[in-house]
Amino acid sequence: MESNDTQMASPTPVRARKYSFSRKQSVMAEPGKEGQIVAPGIWAGNTIGVFTSGGDSQGMNAAVRAVVRMGFYVGSKVYFIKEGYQGMVDGGDNIVEATWSSVSGILQKGGTVIGSARCKDFRERPGRLIAACNLVKKGISNLVVIGGDGSLTGADCFRQEWGGLLDELLSTGKITKDEREKYKHLNIVGMVGSIDNDFCGTDMTIGTDSALHRIIEAVDAIATTALSHQRAFVMEVMGRHCGYLALVGALATEADWVFIPEWPPEEDWKDTLCKKLVAERNLGQRLNIILVAEGAIDNTGNPITAADVKHLLATELKIDTRVTVLGHVQRGGSPSAFDRILGSRMGAEAVLALIDANPDTPACVISIEGNSTVRVPLMECVERTKEVQACMDKRNFDEAVRLRGKSFQNNLNVYRLLSKLRPPSSHIKPSSHEDNKVEPCYPFTDHKTHRNLAIMNIGAPACGMNAAVRSFVRISLTRGFRVLGIHDSFDGLMKGDVVPMTWSQVQGWAGKGGSFLGTKKQWAQNVGVAKIADKFAEYKIDGLMIVGGFEAYHSALQLAEAREKFPPLCIPIVVIPCTISNNIPGSDFSLGADTALNEITDICDRIKQSATGTKRRVFVAETMGGYCGYLATLAGLASGADAAYIYEERFGVNDLKQDVEHLKDKILSANVQRGLILRNEKANHNYSTDFITRLFAEEGYPTFTTRMNVLGHMQQGGYPSPFDRNYGTKMAAKGVEWLAEMIERYMDPSGVVRTGNADTIVLLGMMKRHLTFTPVEELKEETDFEKRIPIDQWWLKLRPLLRILAKHRVVAYEVESEIKNIDEEDDDSF
Q: State yes or no: 149 annotated in a binding site.
A: yes
Q: State yes or no: 17 annotated in a binding site.
A: no
Closest CA to 640 of 98, 70, 108: 108
Q: State yes or no: 624 annotated in a binding site.
A: yes
For 809-829, letters b (16+ CB in 10 Å) and e give eebbbbbbbeebebeebeeeb
Q: State yes or no: 788 annotated in a binding site.
A: yes
User: How would you classify residue 495: left for phi > 0, otherwise alpha for psi between -120 and 50, otherwise beta?
Assistant: alpha
Q: State yes or no: 159 annotated in a binding site.
A: no
Q: State yes or no: 10 annotated in a binding site.
A: no
Within 10 angstroms of residue 438's Cβ, the number of other Cβ atoms is 11
Q: State yes or no: 121 annotated in a binding site.
A: no
Q: State yes or no: 35 annotated in a binding site.
A: no
Q: State yes or no: 241 annotated in a binding site.
A: no
Look up residue 453 and give its DSSP letter. E
Within 10 angstroms of residue 528's Cβ, the number of other Cβ atoms is 13
- Adjacent-strand bridge partners of 257: 290
Q: State yes or no: 715 annotated in a binding site.
A: yes
DSSP for 670-710, written as a single string: S---EEEEEEETTS-SSS-HHHHHHHHHHHHTTT-EEEEEE
Q: State yes or no: 118 annotated in a binding site.
A: yes
**What is the Cα–Cα distance from 223 to 230, expressed in whole angstroms?**
10
Q: State yes or no: 90 annotated in a binding site.
A: no
Q: State yes or no: 151 annotated in a binding site.
A: yes
- Whether residue 196 lies in the annotated active site: yes
Q: State yes or no: 322 annotated in a binding site.
A: yes
**What is the Cα–Cα distance from 215 to 250, expressed in whole angstroms?**
10
**What is the Cα–Cα distance from 555 to 572, expressed in whole angstroms?**
14
Q: State yes or no: 745 annotated in a binding site.
A: no
Q: State yes or no: 123 annotated in a binding site.
A: no
**What is the Cα–Cα distance from 133 to 169, expressed in whole angstroms?**
7
Q: State yes or no: 181 annotated in a binding site.
A: no
Q: Which one is catalytic: 90, 196, 588, 642?
A: 196
DSSP for 38-91, written as a single string: EPTTTTTT-EEEEEE-SS--TTHHHHHHHHHHHHHHTT-EEEEETTHHHHHHH-
Q: State yes or no: 4 annotated in a binding site.
A: no
Q: What is the dihedral of CA 772, 777, 778, 782, to 10 degrees?
A: 100
Q: State yes or no: 579 annotated in a binding site.
A: yes
Q: State yes or no: 521 annotated in a binding site.
A: yes
Helices (H) and strands (E) in the chain, counts: 25, 29
Q: What is the dihedral of CA 290, 54, 398, 468, to 10 degrees?
A: -50
Q: State yes or no: 150 annotated in a binding site.
A: yes
| Under 8 Å between Cβ of 94 and 135 | no
**What is the Cα–Cα distance from 511 to 490, expressed in whole angstroms?**
25
**What is the Cα–Cα distance from 830 to 48, expressed in whole angstroms?**
35
Q: State yes or no: 625 annotated in a binding site.
A: yes
Q: State yes or no: 824 annotated in a binding site.
A: no
Residue ranges for the binding site for beta-D-fructose 2,6-bisphosphate?
A: 521, 579-583, 617, 624-626, 681, 707, 713-716, 788
Residue ranges for the binding site for Mg(2+)?
A: 149
**Catalytic positions, written as ranges:** 196
Residue ranges for the binding site?
A: 55, 118-119, 148-151, 194-196, 231, 238-240, 294, 322, 328-331, 521, 579-583, 617, 624-626, 681, 707, 713-716, 788
Residue ranges for the binding site for substrate?
A: 194-196, 231, 238-240, 294, 322, 328-331
Residue ranges for the binding site for ATP?
A: 55, 118-119, 148-151
